[in-house]
Structure formats: structure tokens, C-alpha cells
Structure 1
Amino acid sequence: METWETARLVKDLREQTAGLARAAAAGDPEATVPTCPEWRLSDLVAHIGQALRWAADLVRKAAPLPIPDPREVDPGAPDGWERWLTDGAEELIEAVRDAGEHAEVWSVAGMVPPAFWLRRMLNDITVHHYDAAAATGAPFAISAELAADVITEGMELLSAPAAEDFKPELAELRGSGECLAIRPHDAEGWLISRTPDGPRWRRASGDGDVTVRGPAAELMLVLSGRVPAREVTGDRALLDHWLARTRF
């Protein structure tokens, strides 16, 4: 039986995947993506289409698989991008439904329910939807609720026990209690403490040694390294140090 949360993830995954495809198809496939300058627009599309199918395979096999290289995939012509990407989303959705909510599958955070990969791909695609829009001038808007979940999931991944194995620079986030506050205007905030054992966080509103404010969607883009922070008080160097090591 599909839960309410899974149904929401499915709905948002379909919407964000189609939105990214439409935004990307409005541009030149060879154009550089300004927020991911190592990629052309076609590379961005290839990454998403390939990642959706990779995640579906992870769910089906419940075991780790090599991370694919998007440059090894041809996404086809732009007029076919929406169909190719949405087919990939449907493949993942079907794999999760076939696995069942009580199954366990592999992830960087350990063994997790299959719906983990719906959320992971949704949140990755949401940020890359912005990348496509930034490259082509297409509109981009998301709800505060979705933006907040992208941020929350990022915090969960950064503080996972095995996170440093996959992203060694996270070891540099160990500290002696320095506090960063993320304070959206339209959602509950996050307080992050840099402890000797690594970063710890909780949902709460308050100020830290550095505090960054703005709409949740903007803060999502700040924390993913897409736009600079506009409203910052306190120790800006502490925020810059965090951002330099946590882009996701």
C-alpha cells in the first residue's frame, strides 16, 4: 500500500523531472551550464536520465552499483528529452513499488527503505532543475516545503556515519561547537553545530555564530552552491568554510 509520503514523492518527482526537461530543451545542448561549468546542457540531461535508471537498478538489486559517467550516455535530441527523462522517473517509481515499503535497499547512508531513492532523486533533480533554468533562462519556482526537504536531506546525508568515506572533505567540518543558523522566512530553520565528532543539526529557529536568512528556496540554492547568500550576520568566514566543503 502506497503511503501518503510516498505518493507526495512520486508526484513531486514527476513534476520536477518534467520541469527540468522542459527547461533544458529550451536551450542549446552544447551550452555550458553556468552553475555546473564542467557540464554542457546535454551532460546535465544525461546525468539525470542515467541517475534515475541507476537508482531504479539499485532498488531492484538491493546492492551497490558503480556510479555511472553521464558522458557515456547520449540523451538524444532535445525534443525527446522530456520523454526520456520521465520514462526514467517512471522506471524508478515502478521499481520502488515492486520492492514494497518493507524492503531494504543499499544507499550511502546504509540500508534504507526503497522510497529513500525517490526522495534522493527528487531532491537532486530539484537542484538540477534550477541548473537547467539558469542555463536557458526558463522560469524556476518551488514550494518552501520542497526546498526545506532538500535542505533537511542534505543535512541528513552530511551527518551520516559513512559520509566522510564518500566525501573526505567533510572531515574538515569537525569543530568545537561553532554554530551555523539557517533561518528561512517561510519555514522552520536549522541549527548546525560543528562538534569534534562531526556536524550535528536540528530543526529550530535561532541565531548562531553565523546566521543566513532568506526564502527557503533561496537558502536551498545557497547551500547547494548555486547562488551567494544575501542576508548574512555574524562570522561570514564560518559560513564560507561550510559551503566550500558541503556542496551537494
Structure 2
Amino acid sequence: MTVRRPVAAPDFVGYPEVRRGIRALLDGRDGLDLRPVPACPEWTVTDLLAHLTGIAERVLVRHGGTPPAAPAPRDVPGLLDRWDTVGEELDRLLAEAGGTSGEIMVMDAYTHELDLRAALGVAPPDEHLAWAPSFEVLVRGFSGSVAGRGLPPLRVRTTEGSEWTAGHGRPAASLTAPAHDLYRALAGRRSAAQLAVLDWSEAPEPWLPAFTWGPFVPPSYPGV
């Protein structure tokens, strides 16, 4: 159950902002094709962009669109252009669908924008239209993990004032962290040691397993 949260922009607004943000990060930078992305240790920048483009094409087909027939390129400029081509049609279809029809895709894309920023030493944005809907997806998944493991409910708070309850019922403890750190924790980008040193009202060990959920697994090394 959500207690207090920021107002989420529609997915068809947040998604193009992610594409613009990633293009701004990568345009004009040389030598990025094989640049590692530490938050996704098996991927280079081109691997990450190929993932984002592939996800967009699959969602486009699911909404009745048609992706380009030509094989996807394998370089940063080509992948950015391909993603924009697919994304422009997808934006329109998401706007027509309304609601939260693309919420998981938006969360995935925004999370990877943060991965790229970390890889390039660029600070996270102060504000982003994809932040609130992406946070909602992460909290919902984490809440299901807490409940599914039979753990006591946990109050999850940002130091900026947003607040949720993960699990069902009255919270037995609270976790408080800056918004960026909490987001990265919920998205599998913080190790168990990093999670444990966040601001917990009780010993964190009972809840640490719940940070493994869906595609997310806390890394064995310090996350970024």
C-alpha cells in the first residue's frame, strides 16, 4: 500500500525524456561502443542500447506497431537513431493507450539511464519525468517480494519526503535513504553490505532477501 508518493507523469511523457537524456549523455562522445557499464557487468554501452531498442520494438509490436525491417545496427549513433525511430511511433501508441501500459519499459529504460550516468561519471538528474512512475514499479515489486517471503511490512521512505509501505499491514520497521540511493537499492544496484548500512529503524537482515525479486539481484561487489 502506498502511503505518500510523488505524482507520476504518464509513461508516454517519461519515455521520450529518457531517450532524450540518454542521447544527451552519449552524443559527441568517442570510443563508447565497447565502454563497459559497471552496473550491468556483462554489457558494453552498445549492448545496453541494443537491449533498450529491442525492448522498445517488442512493446511496439504488442501495441500494433511495426518496427524497422532492417537489422539493428551495432554502434552507438546507429542504435540511438533506431531507438528514436521506434520510440516516436511507440510514444504515439502509448499516448493512445493511456494509463500505465508502458510502465515496466519506462522503469527499465530510466534505470539504464542511471546505469549509463554512473558509467560515465555523470550525476543523476535532479528531476526526471520517468522517476515517479519508475519508483512506483520498483516499490510494487519490492512490496510483493516482502509479502511473498512472509516478512513483516516495511515502511520505505526517501529523505525528500516520499513514503510507501512494502508488504501488507502496519509496518514493523522503516528504511530511509536519499531518493537516488533508495531507487538504486530497489533496482538491484546496491550490494547487501550497502543495503545494510542505510538508515534502518531495526536490524535489516530479515528484509535483505526481499531485495532479490524479478530481474533484480543485489551484486556481490559494491554497486553504483
TM-score by length of 2: 0.72
- Partner SS for 2:42: strand
Q: Which is strand-richer, 1 or 2?
A: 1
Which one of 91, 94, 101 corresponds to residue 117 of structure 1? 101
The aligned residue for residue 15 of structure 1 is: 17
SS class of match (1:30): coil
Higher helix share: 1
RMSD value, Cα = 3.2
Take 2:43 and 2:79, find their aligned partners in 1: how far apart are those partners?
A: 16
Deviation at 1:14, TM superposition (A): 1.0
Alpha-carbon shift at residue 212 of structure 1 (Å): 1.9
| Alignment match of 1:235 (pick from 197, 203, 208) | 203
Q: Say which of 85, 94, 97 aligns to 1:96.
A: 94
Q: Identify which of 114, 119, 123 aligns with 1:135.
A: 119
**Paired position in structure 2 for 1:47:** 51
Listed as ranges, the gaps of 5+ residues in structure 1 are 62-72, 102-113, 161-169, 194-199
Residue number in structure 2 paired with 1:208: 172
Please, what TM-score do these two structures have when normalized by structure 1? 0.66
For 2:143 and 2:109, the matched residues in 1 are separated by: 21
Between the aligned partners of 1:233 and 1:6, the Cα distance in structure 2 is 28
Counterpart of 1:197 in structure 2 is: none
Unaligned runs of 5+ in 2: 1-6, 66-70, 218-224
- What is the identity percentage for the equivalent residue pairs of Structure 1 and Structure 2? 20
1:33 matches 2:37: yes
Structure-1 separation of matches of 2:10 and 2:147: 35
Deviation (angstroms), 1:224: 0.5
Length, aligned pairs only: 198
For 2:80, the equivalent position in structure 1 comes to 82
In 2, Cα distance between equivalents of 1:59 and 1:159: 28
Q: Distance in 2 between matches of 1:215 and 1:91?
A: 35
Q: Which moved more, 1:116-125 or 1:49-58?
A: 116-125
Match of 1:66 in 2: none
Say if 2:176 and 2:200, in contact at 8 Å, map to a contact too. Answer: yes
Q: Compare relative contact order (CA 8 Å, sep 6+) and give the higher one, 1 or 2.
A: 2
